[in-house]
Amino acid sequence: MQQTLTDKVVIITGASSGIGAATARALAREGCQLTLAARSTHRLEQLAEELGRSRTLAVPTDLTDGAAVVAMVEQTVARFGRVDVLFANAGIYIPGQVADGDPEAWATLMDVNVDGVLRSVHAVLPHLLAQKSGDILVTSSISGLIDIHWEPVYSASKHAIQGFVHTLRRQVAAQGIRVGAIAPGMVANELWGFTDPAQIAAMAERHASLTSEDVAEAVLFMLSRPAHVTIRDLVMLPQNQDL
């Protein structure tokens, strides 16, 4: 029996665009109560308005700020009474040659892609442990499973996520908490500079990219499995991505 997601309280980081925003829309259709976290206040407020303020809370949060992450989780519990799911999804992308790179920019990438996930998980975990249930789902990447040479720092950040997810899963499994990673290949969205829906649809039509909505559907699948089933890793690629 698949689990119903109705009324589940879900925190989504990186909810202001791309995969996070698409997942917020998909989970809202399932009747979830949502905390939307990212830095772009205006975009979060717009999405909260679209999805309905009665079940949606926009909490502008910079994931590199530990106190802000703790406050975001506290605001969620104050508003909805609990947390059922953390979708730790926010991330940034920097490709390129190491020789030409900027170590300060890499440090920011690690701070968001890795430490931001660790901070979010640490802030949410006491609530999940107390209720002995819940889901932690992290957006990894195909770049976390294979070494992609044109994006070494990004690939390293997602490898770190894979290691964290797999070890955390075993630490908390006996407490009724599921932990998994979703690892997409190319998703045509703002991470790559794509904003035109027609262009995104055309790329999907050519099987050259996934859409943010494709990933959102996979997130729904993972979260709605029966409680005894953990999807530890879900890897999804555009049909003809050559990786």
Ligand X SMILES: NC(=O)c1ccc[n+]([C@@H]2O[C@H](COP(=O)([O-])OP(=O)(O)OC[C@H]3O[C@@H](n4cnc5c(N)ncnc54)[C@H](OP(=O)(O)O)[C@@H]3O)[C@@H](O)[C@H]2O)c1
- Examine the residue annotation and report whether 154 is marked as an active-site residue of this protein: yes
C-alpha distance from residue 48 to each of 30, 34, 35, 63 (Å):
15, 9, 9, 19
For ligand X, give the closer residue by CB, 92 or 118. Answer: 92
**Residue owning tokens 């249930």:** 133
Least CB distance from residue 126 to ligand X, whole Å?
A: 21
C-alpha distance from residue 170 to each of 86, 120, 136, 167 (Å):
17, 18, 12, 5
How big is the chain by its Cα radius of gyration, in Å? 17
152 binds ligand X (CB under 6 A): no
Least CB distance from residue 181 to ligand X, whole Å?
A: 10
39 binds ligand X (CB under 6 A): yes
Pick from 92, 156, 231, 235 the residue near ligand X by CB under 6 A: 92
Single out the segment in contact with ligand X by CB under 6 A; choices: 27-35, 56-64, 121-129, 164-172: 56-64
Check: CB of residue 181 under 8 Å from CB of residue 162: yes
73 binds ligand X (CB under 6 A): no
For ligand X, give the closer residue by CB, 18 or 134. Answer: 18
131 binds ligand X (CB under 6 A): no
Single out the segment in contact with ligand X by CB under 6 A; choices: 76-84, 99-107, 120-128, 183-191: 183-191
Sign of CA dihedral 34, 39, 41, 43: negative
**Any idea which residues carry the catalytic annotation?**
154
Binding stretches for ligand X (CB under 6 A):
13-20, 38-40, 61-64, 89-93, 112, 139, 141, 184, 186-187, 189-191, 212
